[in-house]
Amino acid sequence: MGKIENADKRGYLETPFRLFHLEDTRGGDIPYHYHEFHKLILFLSGDVRYLIEGRNYLLKEGDILLIPAYAIHQPMISGEEAYSRYILWIRPESLERWNLTDGFSICEEQNAYLLKRNRYDRSELMGLLQRLEKTETEKEYGWEALKEALFIEIATQVSRAVLQTGPSLREHEELSDPRIDAILQYMNQNLTEDLSVEALSGHFYLSKSWLMHRFKEIANCTIHQYVLQKRLILSTQKLLEQTSAEQAARESGFTDYSTFLRAFRRVYGVTPREYVRYHTQTDLRSAPEYNE
């Protein structure tokens, strides 16, 4: 089981968007991680369960996942059937340019990331992705303009579907719990507050033992692991906004700077200053084999 406390940033995206069409038979879990760009996944086949920000999704053919930038996620792949999918990496500013941010924004606000296969025109979207793939491969006259036009149409279709039907909170009741949903929402909105098990159990009138057991059952990590990683991700965003390390720590919910520094170095392998310095360097982990 991948530990959320070891979640890392994977992949760098220097172009407005990037399309992958992947199929493999690897099994096992990929560690918890996040990206600094949005990710859209059209699931085609396989036996895959996805954990996104504490939500647990068993995927069916045609399901779409919309994973916003900085959202912690982990695919859990099992079985012998090939895991096939289209993946579209999208820089947030690419959607902002065309005012197409609502799809990912709604998913982030509602902490719900699944667009079910019966809530959009599957044949139309599949056709657009196949055309985009062909355009990028063949690179015929005008391919760059056509590529951008196809991307805009894909983003428009998906955003419309989310606006019209809304993302799904859950696919299987046994993998969800409204009480844990409420706690996840509270934690994400109050990262600078006391989010210890004791504080949360008192706030929500739940026993500590039940809360710890049920949260790990649903989210596949402990409360401490989840909160720590969310605070660290928030600190990296603040660091890249030129906030000092001490202030970034305080504004991310760390009451002790030495605790923050130890956690930061353990997870990212560098100091906050080094993180900012080397942040823009290209990382070979953007290669397709690291895609989920």
Using one digit for the tens of pLDDT, what is the confidence trace for 168-226? Answer: 765 554 467 889 989 998 999 999 999 999 999 999 999 999 999 999 988 888 999 99
Q: Which pLDDT value is given to residue 80?
A: 79
pLDDT over 70 percentage in the chain: 88
C-alpha closest to that of 103 among 49, 139, 54, 157: 157
Q: Mean pLDDT score of the chain, rounded to an integer? A: 87
Contact assessment for residue 110 and residue 54, using Cβ atoms and an 8 Å cutoff = no
Q: Which pLDDT value is given to residue 33?
A: 85
Contact assessment for residue 40 and residue 103, using Cβ atoms and an 8 Å cutoff = no
Q: Which pLDDT value is given to residue 11?
A: 54
How is residue 140 written in tokens? 């015929």
Report, as an integer, the average pLDDT of 251-280.
89
pLDDT digits (tens, 9 = 90+) for 222-240: 999 999 989 999 999 899 8
Q: Higher-confidence residue: 7 or 104?
A: 104
* Residue 124 pLDDT > 70: yes
Q: Which pLDDT value is given to residue 97?
A: 94
Which residues are paired to 67 by β-bridges?
A: 39
14 band by pLDDT with thresholds 50, 70 and 90: confident
User: Would you call 166 helix, strand, or coil by DSSP?
Assistant: coil
Report, as an integer, the average pLDDT of 108-117.
91
Query: What are the structural domains of the chain?
Result: 4-172 (2.60.120.280), 173-278 (1.10.10.60)
The secondary structure of 61-127 as a DSSP string is TT-EEEE-TT--EEEEEESSS-EEEEEEEE-HHHHHHTT--HHHHHHHHHT--EE-TTSS-HHHHHH
* Residue 287 pLDDT > 60: no
User: Would you call 169 helix, strand, or coil by DSSP?
Assistant: coil
Q: Which pLDDT value is given to residue 292?
A: 73
* Residue 68 pLDDT > 50: yes
Instruction: Give dist(CA 101, CA 106) in Å, integer.
Output: 9
Predicted TM-score (pTM) of the model is: 0.80
